[in-house]
Amino acid sequence: QVQLQESGGGSVQSGGSLRLSCAASGNDYRKYCMGWFRQAPGKEREGVATITGLGMTTYTDSVKGRFTISQDGAKNTLYLQMNSLKPEDTAIYYCAAYDTAATGSYEYYSGCGYNKWGQGTQVTVSS
């Protein structure tokens, strides 16, 4: 089974930067998309960025030009570099992957399906 563990969240002022990391382990996930989602208080979870098995990236409009998704060469760690942070970026951020052994429901973002989630890491941006 795929396991995901996020780290790197915290509190910053508007305009600041944070780098989120997601340590991934398990089988097969490297061939599929990995992504970052976020959930703000009182809102539904939304896709933020995704990277395909071939390294193509997509971003939701609100973070384009400010956030960058990447992986290390072995695809053991997924990153989200967040620059020029705004108060509206405040949310719990989740790492996501596709687990061939999982039987739960799927969530789709940017053409990719996800069925495995980390526990989340809080990002708070103050004005």
**pLDDT tens column, 1-11:** 899 999 999 99
Q: How far apart are CA 64 and CA 50, in angstroms?
A: 12
pLDDT under 50: residue ranges of the chain: none
Angle at 40 between CA 37 and CA 41, to 5 degrees: 145
Both tokens assigned to 59? 């971003």
Identify the pLDDT of residue 14.
Answer: 98
Given this model, what pLDDT does residue 102 score?
85
Strand 34-39 relative to strand 46-51, pairing: antiparallel
| CB neighbour list of residue 77: distance below 8 Å, 6 or more residues apart | 21, 22, 23, 24, 71
Residue 21, helix vs strand vs coil = strand
What pLDDT is recorded for position 24? 95
Which pLDDT value is given to residue 73?
A: 85
